[in-house]
């Protein structure tokens, strides 16, 4: 069967990561959470007090950041920064509050996109993010664009944070998601836009299983060209 590249883009908390992870599991593909990479850079910048207006400092910091993904005993992908597991740290609101600013920077994007393309060389990959179908893999075989109503997204994110023992007020989450949507879609470098060929899926009223099934069904039509949609 043909190995394909699946790009899943969309706004924050629309279920991209969960869908991408489950689709990758079903297809025995590699899953890469590109948002985790921008979150990792943000963590490093904050912890090392990197000045966002000093290109030299940014360049140096980027050269010191080595991001890897390791599959844990439950089959989930965890993010490592220079060999240290930072999966939990990068999901905190402290990172969510700064990640859109950091990921809007040209130097940061160039460095991350280079690594993301390397990871996709072998194909057989599902990557989720904001610019995967438009910039990272414009040649992706299948492009998905997920959307959902704001409140549904906020409650899903709140539940996710709670599962990590992080109780965050719903208003704070709505505020953060709204701000990030705005920055991610209006930035100069690779703004979040739906790729022309992307198929939109509104996840407001469907379950994760239904989302996953739909993406698998679409994937199969690309992997086995004889199948019709």
Q: Which of 180, 201, 211, 218 binds ligand DC (CB under 6 A)?
A: 180
What is the closest distance, in whole angstroms, from the C-beta atom of residue 39 to ligand DC in the complex?
A: 6
**133 binds ligand DC per the rule CB under 6 A:** no
Q: How far apart are CA 99 and CA 143, in angstroms?
A: 24
> Of the candidates 201, 219, 215, which has an alpha carbon nearest to the alpha carbon of residue 11?
201
What is the closest distance, in whole angstroms, from the C-beta atom of residue 136 to ligand DC in the complex?
A: 7
**Beta-ladder partners of 108:** none
> Of the candidates 29, 22, 26, which has an alpha carbon nearest to the alpha carbon of residue 5?
29
Place of tokens 């948002």: 35
**12 binds ligand DC per the rule CB under 6 A:** yes
**141 binds ligand DC per the rule CB under 6 A:** no
Evaluated on CA atoms 199, 79, 156, 135, the torsion sign reads: negative
Question: What is the token pair recorded at 14?
Answer: 């629309």
Q: Which of 131, 134, 195, 203 binds ligand DC (CB under 6 A)?
A: 131
> Of the candidates 137, 127, 122, 140, which has an alpha carbon nearest to the alpha carbon of residue 32?
127
**35 binds ligand DC per the rule CB under 6 A:** yes
Binding window for ligand DC (CB under 6 A); candidates: 21-29, 68-76, 129-137, 213-221: 129-137
Residues that bind ligand DC (CB under 6 A): 12, 34-35, 38-39, 99-100, 103, 129-132, 180, 184
């Amino acid at each position: 069967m043909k190995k394909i590249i699946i790009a899943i883009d969309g706004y924050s908390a629309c279920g991209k990561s969960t869908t991408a992870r489950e689709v990758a599991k079903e297809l025995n593909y590699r899953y890469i959470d590109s948002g985790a990479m921008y979150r990792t850079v943000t963590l490093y910048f904050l912890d090392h007090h990197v000045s966002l207006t000093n290109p030299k400092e940014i360049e140096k910091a980027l050269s010191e950041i080595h991001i890897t993904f390791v599959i844990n005993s439950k089959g989930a992908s965890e993010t490592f920064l220079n060999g240290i597991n930072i999966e939990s740290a990068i999901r905190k609101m402290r990172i969510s509050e700064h990640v859109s600013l950091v990921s809007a920077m040209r130097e940061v994007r160039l460095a991350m996109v280079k690594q993301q393309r390397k990871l996709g060389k072998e194909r057989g990959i599902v990557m989720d993010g904001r610019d995967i179908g438009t910039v990272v893999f414009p040649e992706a075989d299948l492009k998905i664009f997920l959307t959902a109503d704001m409140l549904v997204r906020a409650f899903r994110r709140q539940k996710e944070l709670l599962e990590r023992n992080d109780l965050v007020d719903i208003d704070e989450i709505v505020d953060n998601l709204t701000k990030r949507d705005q920055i991610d879609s209006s930035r100069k470098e690779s703004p979040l836009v739906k790729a022309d060929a992307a198929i939109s899926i509104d996840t407001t009223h469907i379950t994760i299983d239904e989302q996953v099934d739909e993406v698998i069904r679409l994937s199969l039509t690309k992997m086995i060209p004889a199948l019709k949609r």
